[in-house]
Chain A
Amino acid sequence: MREFIFLGLNSIGIIAIISFFMGAVITLQTAYNTENPIYPKYLIGLGCRDSIILEFSSTVSALILAGKVGSNIASEIGTMRVTEQIDALEIMGVNSASYLILPKLVATLIFNPFLTLMSIIIGIFGGWTAGTFLGVITSEDFIYGIQYAFIPFYITYSLIKMVFFAFIITSVSAFQGYYVDGGSLEVGRASTKAVVFSSVLILLFNVILTQLLLS
């Protein structure tokens, strides 16, 4: 339960903010790149929707989470390692690796897909807000656009990606923290490594999963 709060609920704010502005920017960029009247206006809504669903709500969110949740997990477990709390667990007959890592894995695997869904909704809302308030598209066109040629599998695709990314973030970061050797300096280093390694793996798996799921 504690893990849900720390790793999930606390990330809602940042994901909401990022999604809103991402949606806004994508809408504006699409609008300014398609000023030629041969493109129908509703394409802006469609472009916003698909970019958000395909890429931003999963991959970009995951990169943000790698920074926030990943460093958090690595430094928490790393601190427990260097302050001998993990030794203390072992002495009490606890299998420290599964005791510490499993709840975090469960929490992120269950919660992150919700963050993705939330990100999709807020992102599209951000696009609508920016588009209509700045007058680049009418509300009707935008709403028509986000319903036009909608492929529900894209959402599944996005959720599947997020589940993989959640696994990458949690396991890579927990590993980095668990095998820290030294003091607080090394804990800092481990949490940096956790972020870098999980980000790179996320980008790599993004390509692999896209090829597997969309080709």
Chain B
Amino acid sequence: MIRINNLSKSFSGHQVLKDISVVFEPGITNLIIGQSGSGKTVLLKSIVGLHDVDEGEIWYGDVLFNKLNFIDKKEIRKEIGMLFQGSALFDSLTVEQNVRFPLDMFTDHGLEEKTERVNFCLNRVNIKNSNLLYPAELSGGMRKRVAIARAISLNPKYLFCDEPNSGLDPLTAIVIDALIKELTEEYNMTTIINTHDMNSVMEIGEKILFISDGLKCWEGNKNEILNSDCEKLNDFVFANSFAKKLRDSIQA
């Protein structure tokens, strides 16, 4: 479980996150949604400690994460897997070396054991016969999946995904979403996903936090999202004309 209390963050006078409090439970897919530029990435990076926050508390279970020093943070980081918006695979390493990287950093297992784990993870995300390719030789969707494999290689308790399916076709996007949801349930991870894709929201939105201009505007689940009375959320959800028509025909 991850609990955030009154979190605020600004960059040189420009306030990006304003007093956000929320709880993310394990075993379900928690979504952070909002417009481009609303602060989703900053929120996620603040939670994992890539940004220092100005105010507020970030609890991992019963550990106050944002007050720990580098060494103690490392203990928590062993349990964190993260998928970045642009995959962030290491260009100079092969697929196999990329997935093995966290194992090299955090474990003292032998090469054989690590390779076995790497192959298990790659298999889990359906990447086959690509161990020796470099990231530049993969398609966008494959890169995302390799990045997921890298994120889960240490069997993390916490999984963070920044727009896991941006830039993918709708079918591949759903496959990735389903994969993340499956892994979350399988390993009872606390999973937090940033997205602005309504397909994902309707597929895997078990808990949804909507932020707008750095403010928490609404929270709920995918069943509640269609009849919220939050103005900004409705603008977001019914942004396209197809969705609007659908809503109007149901209301009529």
**Nearest B residue (CB) for A6:** B92
Residues of chain A with a CB closer than 8 A to B89's CB: 85
Q: Is there contact, CB below 8 Å, between A90 and B92?
A: no
Residues of chain B with a CB closer than 8 A to A80's CB: 90-91
Known A-B contacts A79-B91, A91-B48, A94-B105; the reply to A84 vs B84 at CB < 8 A is yes
Q: How large is the interface on A (under 10, 10 to 19, 20 to 34, 35 or more residues)?
A: 10 to 19
Expressed in whole angstroms, the Cα–Cα distance for A83 and B89 within the complex equals 9
Q: Is B102 an interface residue (CB 8 A)?
A: yes
Residues of chain A with a CB closer than 8 A to B45's CB: 87
Expressed in whole angstroms, the Cα–Cα distance for A14 and B98 within the complex equals 33
Expressed in whole angstroms, the Cα–Cα distance for A85 and B80 within the complex equals 16
Q: Is B82 an interface residue (CB 8 A)?
A: yes
Q: Is there contact, CB below 8 Å, between B105 and A84?
A: no
Known A-B contacts A91-B77, A92-B106; the reply to A85 vs B91 at CB < 8 A is yes
Q: Is there contact, CB below 8 Å, between A93 and B86?
A: no
Near B by CB (< 8 A), chain A positions 69-90 give 79-80, 83-85, 87-88, 90
Q: Is there contact, CB below 8 Å, between A90 and B88?
A: no
CB distance from A11 to the nearest CB of B (A): 18
A interface vs B, CB < 8 Å?
2, 79-80, 83-85, 87-88, 90-94
**A87-B88, A92-B101, A93-B74 are known contacts; what are 18 more A-B pairs with Cβ within 8 Å?**
A2-B92, A79-B91, A80-B90, A83-B86, A83-B91, A84-B84, A84-B86, A85-B90, A85-B91, A87-B84, A88-B82, A88-B88, A91-B48, A91-B77, A92-B77, A93-B73, A93-B77, A93-B78
